[in-house]
Amino acid sequence: MSLSRRDFVSGVALGALGSTAGRALGAATIEPQQRMKAASTPIIVAAGNGRPYLERAYAQLKAGADTLESAIAVVTGPEDDPNDDSVGLGGLPNEEGVVELDASCMHGPSRRAGSVGGVRNIRNVSRLAREVMLHSGHVMLVGEGAERFALARGFVRENLLTEASRRTWLLWKETHSDWWGPGLADPAWKERLRGRRAAVELETLERLQVLAADLGIPPGERLAAAHKVLYPPTGTIHCSVLAANGEMSGITTTSGLAWKLPGRCGDTPVIGAGCYTDQDVGSAGATGSGEENIKVAGAHTIVENMRHGLPPLEAGMDALKRIVRNYNGDMERLRYVDMTYYILRKDGAYAGVSLWTGYEPGRPHTIAVHDGSARLEKTVSLYEGASQEWPPLVAPSQVPL
C-alpha cells in the first residue's frame, strides 16, 4: 500500500478578502464565512480546539471573572484532556520520551507578562505562566527552574506521558534509532527479525503499522500513530479575551513539536511571538510553525500593525507575508510551513488568518469565537490549499530544488 499524501493545491495568493469563504471545506458546524466583528462584548477568540471550552469561560467572564482567568478556563480544557496530544497531559514527548511544555500569557490591564519553556511534569503550564507573572520578579522561567518554581507554588508533579503517547513515541524511536527494539540477545530474535524483515519490504506506512502492532498499539490507533511518526505533529491553543469593561488578556500553551530535541522551545513561550496583548490596542496569538513565527515576532507584529491603523485581518496578513518574505516567496519551501494567527482588537473586531486554508483538503483552519453565541469560523488564508507535512517522504533526489 502506498502512502497517501495530502493533496497539494498550488498556492494562489488571495487578492480579495474572504475569498476562501463559502466553499464547503469543513464540517457543518464550521461557519462558511468569518464575521470579523463581535455581535457584542464580552468576546473570546481561540484556536479551534478551544471550542468545547468557550461556554464555561464565557459564563465566568459574564459573571465578572478577570480576562486572564477566563482565557485560562479555555486553554486548560485541552491541557487537562489526555486525548489531546498537542497540549498538557498526553502531549507528544521530545525525542527522549519526555513531555516538555511551553506557555505564555499577558494581562492587559496590569500590563504584565509571564512565560515558561521546556517544563516537565507540570500539567497546567498556562497557570504556571500566570504564576511567574504574579509571584516572581521575572517574566520567563525555563526547564528545571520552572518546575521547581511550580512545586514551590503548590503545583503537583505528575507523569504527563500517557500510554498512547508513550507507545507512539516508542514507534518513532524504534524506527529512528539502530539500538531501540529487540536485539540479538532477545530469545525470540529470529521471529522478530523475520517479522521486521517482512515489514521493511512493505511500503512505509504499512511497515509502521506492523511495528505498531508489535508495540501493542490497538488496531484502530495504528494508522494515526504511524502518521505521527512520519510527520511529527505540532499543536497548540491560544485564547484572547475582551471583557465588557474593555479589559483584555491573551494566553498560549503547547507541548510543541513532537520528537523535538530536548530543550527546544517554539514560539509559544516567546512573548511577542506566540502571544502578545496590549491593553491600548488588542491581542494576538499563534499556532503553527514556531520557528517561522519567532523570526517575524508574529503576535507583536500584528498588534503593532493594528496600533498603526491596520484592521485585524490586514494586520495578520502582513505578518504572514513577512514569513513568505523570509523565504523570498519560494513556494517549494512555504508549502511546508503552517501558520495561523488569532487576532482580537480592543473594540471587538477580530480575525483568524492562516498561511494555508487547512492541514488537508476538507479540514480548514478555524477560529473559535464566543460573543454571545459560540461557534467555529474558517480562517481567511493567504494561500488556497493544504500545507504539506514535513519531512516529505521522497528520496532527496526527488525533492524539487
What does the binding site for ligand ASP look like in residue numbers (CB under 6 A)?
Answer: 234-236, 254, 256-257, 266-268, 287-288, 290
Half-sphere exposure of 226 (CA within 13 A, CB side): 21
Q: Is 176 exposed, middle or buried (0-12, 13-18, 19+ CB in 10 A)?
A: exposed
3-state secondary structure of 276: strand
* Min CB(209)–ligand ASP separation in Å: 25
Q: Using CB atoms, what's the residue nearest to ligand ASP?
A: 290
17's torsion region: left (phi>0), alpha (psi -120 to 50) or beta? beta
* Min CB(254)–ligand ASP separation in Å: 5
Q: Which is nearer to ligand ASP, 90 or 266 (CB)?
A: 266
* Min CB(260)–ligand ASP separation in Å: 8
Q: Which is nearer to ligand ASP, 50 or 256 (CB)?
A: 256
Strand partners for 103:
116, 253
Count of residues for the chain? 401
Q: Which is nearer to ligand ASP, 45 or 211 (CB)?
A: 45
* Min CB(343)–ligand ASP separation in Å: 16
Name every residue whose Cβ is closer than 8 Å to that of residue 369 and which is 6 or more positions away in sequence.
35, 38, 43, 44, 45, 46, 54, 350, 375, 376, 377
Q: Which is nearer to ligand ASP, 42 or 77 (CB)?
A: 77
* Min CB(161)–ligand ASP separation in Å: 18
Q: Which is nearer to ligand ASP, 11 or 288 (CB)?
A: 288
d(CA 250, CA 67): 8
Chain centre to alpha carbon of residue 107 = 21
* Min CB(376)–ligand ASP separation in Å: 17
* Min CB(342)–ligand ASP separation in Å: 11
User: What are the DSSP calls for 208-228, one per residue?
Assistant: HHHHHHHTT--HHHHHHHHHH
Q: Which is nearer to ligand ASP, 60 or 283 (CB)?
A: 283
Name every residue whose Cβ is closer than 8 Å to that of residue 250 and which is 6 or more positions away in sequence.
71, 105, 106, 108, 238, 239, 240, 241, 275, 276, 277, 283, 284, 285, 299, 344
* Min CB(160)–ligand ASP separation in Å: 16
Q: Count H helices, E strands: the chain? A: 12, 15
d(CA 355, CA 319): 10
344 close to 240: Cβ distance less than 8 angstroms: yes
| Cell 484556536 belongs to residue | 47
Q: Which is nearer to ligand ASP, 103 or 315 (CB)?
A: 103
Q: Which is nearer to ligand ASP, 58 or 276 (CB)?
A: 276
d(CA 63, CA 6): 45
* Min CB(233)–ligand ASP separation in Å: 8
Q: Which three cell numbers stand for residue 193?
A: 527479525
Q: Which is nearer to ligand ASP, 207 or 260 (CB)?
A: 260
